[in-house]
Structure 1
Amino acid sequence: MSDHILRGRTEEEVLWFRRRGFLQAAAAWTSMGGFAAAWAQQRSNVVDLQGDAIVNGERLRPGAFIQSGDQLATGPNSTVVFVVGSSAFHVRQNSRLVVERGATLNSISVLRMLTGAVVSVWGKGSSRQITTPTLTAGIRGTGVYTEIFSAEAYRTYFCNCYGVVELASGGDRATSRADYHQSFWGEPQPKGGRLLTPARAINHTDEEVEYVAKLVNQQPNWVAMGRRGEKDGRGYMEPQPEYMHPVGPPAPAPAR
């Protein structure tokens, strides 16, 4: 089990992938051919549902299909795992988001997050984004964890677990290239003059990213490389100085 730090989350939330029901559903999803087969056979693309989820104002029923263009919300103690095209998502409890349509019905242009937390894995492609109230992430092919801290003026936590992401918050910009969890805050107000600041890896595990990736036949970099790195939020396999983070160490407070 990989190391993880929790902030406002429980062990049960981050170890959801251990549930027998999910493991059976994930194995069945893969053995039956994944999304292409589900689409061709007009089967649901919902791999796992716990509790209640609302899609376009109506309760998500067994056998339903979540597609681009839909609005999705989960309630307390409710989660949903689904796949659209080459992208897979685990939406945690108390989340609200919009899955905006891309060039085709089975492609996503924007995952517009309003509240909550999502683990997502994206196949290679262009013109995809994750947006929150305080951060925009341009997605290539990658696995990421995004969480909005509503009690902190919608401060956003964003981890590029592996891959390449273009980040923006206000006028701040950064390119994130990570093999192993490169983490950021999207600040609601500047900290040390910055709206993009470095963060540690919190509230998600290697294993849950791995399970979501398997649903779209992906491997995180650390699986392909056969080893884990330093889970310090800097994104590298080997320990690195603090300044090696793309947005550097926290800026000093301005002189008075």
Structure 2
Amino acid sequence: MSTPDEEYEQSNLTRRGFLTLSAATSLLGLIPGVSYANIIHEMKGKVWINNITATSTTMIKPGDTVKTGENSRIIFVMGEDVYQLGSWSTLRLRGDEENSLVSTMRLLNGTLMSVFSKGERIIQPPTAAIGIRGTGIFIQVNPKGTYFCTCYGTTEITLRNNQWVQPVSSTHHQAYFITHNLDEPQISTDTLRGHQDQELFYLESLVGRKPPNNFK
């Protein structure tokens, strides 16, 4: 029997159509003939995969939960997507395990910066569903609410009560704050904080890309 969170996750995925993924597009990316393995690129402090202490050779795949401890960080590559998880963070990954394609991410707490190849993904903080398309993003979840920045690219924020859909197209950081009121979450614009341009350039470089030319 599905839990309310699982039913909400599935209904949003179906309603917004973000499960229609192209495996070929996600794997090929921008460099013909190149696809990147699922690897941990950097790791600092305490990191757990499915509650087991991670090592530099641990494989991360859809279905896994990645957690970090105090003063900890992990940067990992899956296909042509790059994830940087900060301290005290918990990230659940869902998708096609056979092809290692992530379609859905649930950030329970902490911070995540990611750069994505072409294709459609969805990330879920506690009171929203955010559609992502070939985008650089930064998200922070704390007890008061969710800070979400579309660093570049296109996203769509749907609040949990479905009463607000916010399409976002950004060339250089468009941020919002979403409250964690489960019955009536609110969204408001916010300012750039918690991340920097050079981090995005670095993450993109790990898969042979750069941010868009209009990112400035």
Q: TM-score range by the shorter chain?
A: 0.7 to 0.9
Sort the Cα spacing of 1:194 and 1:56 in 2 relative to 1 into closer, same or farther, 3 A: closer
Question: CA separation in 1, counterparts of 2:98 and 2:186?
Answer: 34
AA in 2 matched with 1:175: P
After superposition, where does 1:94-113 map in structure 2 within 5 Å? 94-102=88-96, 104-113=98-107
**1:187 Cα deviation from its structure 2 partner:** 1.5
After superposition, where does 1:30-45 map in structure 2 within 5 Å? 36=35, 39=37, 45=39
After superposition, where does 1:1-256 map in structure 2 within 5 Å? 36=35, 39=37, 45-102=39-96, 104-126=98-120, 128-150=121-143, 152=144, 155-169=145-159, 170=161, 171-189=163-181, 195-221=186-212, 224-225=213-214, 228=216
Sort the Cα spacing of 1:167 and 1:103 in 2 relative to 1 into closer, same or farther, 3 A: farther
Deviations 1:41-91 (A, max 9, x none): xxx600000011000110001211111111110000110000101210000
Name the larger-Rg structure.
1
Deviations 1:130-179 (A, max 9, x none): 101022110111000000022x2xx0000000000011113211110000
AA in 2 matched with 1:183: A
Question: CA separation in 2, counterparts of 1:182 and 1:217?
Answer: 25
TM-score, normalising length: structure 2 = 0.78
Contact 1:99 1:111 survives alignment (8 Å)? yes
Question: CA separation in 1, counterparts of 2:98 and 2:152?
Answer: 26
SS of residue paired to 1:210: helix
Percent identity of equivalent pairs: 27
User: Pairwise CA RMSD of aligned residues?
Assistant: 2.0
Contact 2:47 2:67 survives alignment (8 Å)? yes
Gaps of 5+ in 1: 1-34, 229-256
Structure with the larger helix share: 1
AA in 2 matched with 1:149: N
AA in 1 matched with 2:173: H
Aligned length: 180
Sort the Cα spacing of 1:80 and 1:135 in 2 relative to 1 into closer, same or farther, 3 A: same
**1:220 Cα deviation from its structure 2 partner:** 1.7
Question: CA separation in 2, counterparts of 1:97 and 1:210?
Answer: 22
Structure with the larger strand share: 2
